[in-house]
Amino acid sequence: MAPLSTILRQLYPSTPEWSVDKISDLSGKVFIVTGGNAGIGKETCKQLLLKNAKLYLAARSESKAQAAIDELEKETGKKPIFLKLDLSDLDATRKSAQEFLEYVSPTHPFRGCLTDLRTAGRKPS
């Protein structure tokens, strides 16, 4: 059994020290967010757009992604770029990667990839 101090820390966590307000300006940086059409991925997209990142929203469903893109544009005034990505199909993933590399210019180097890990390893429904 866990010590009482561990149980108490889990029941009554301390105040978070980090918030999205601490994200610096991301102008000139390029990000890919998978699962950005809903949930935490969509909120991640919103915060990155508010910090001026160039954002690629990668998703399987273009219609769901387009609905999210429209909503994000209303909320932030900035529009992410849709990137079709089906991680369950390696050929399609390779094609998406090649398409992404065509978009990215030497003046906007790719800086990172954020993935919605809740869906990693699941079969598509």
The per-residue DSSP string of 108-119 comes to S-EEEEE--GGG
% helix / strand / coil in the chain, to the nearest 5? 45, 15, 40
Q: Are strands 81-84 and 110-114 parallel, antiparallel or unpaired?
A: unpaired
Q: How far, in Å, CA of 36 to CA of 43, rounded?
A: 8
Per-residue pLDDT of the chain (125 residues; tens, 9 = 90+): 778 888 888 898 888 888 888 889 988 888 889 888 999 899 999 999 999 998 999 999 999 999 999 999 999 999 999 999 988 889 998 998 888 888 776 655 665 555 554 544 445 54
* Domains of the chain by start residue, with CATH: 26-117 (3.40.50.720)
Q: What is the DSSP letter of 103?
A: H
pLDDT at 117: 47
The whole model's pTM is what?
0.73
Burial class (CB in 10 A: 0-12, 13-18, 19+), 84: middle
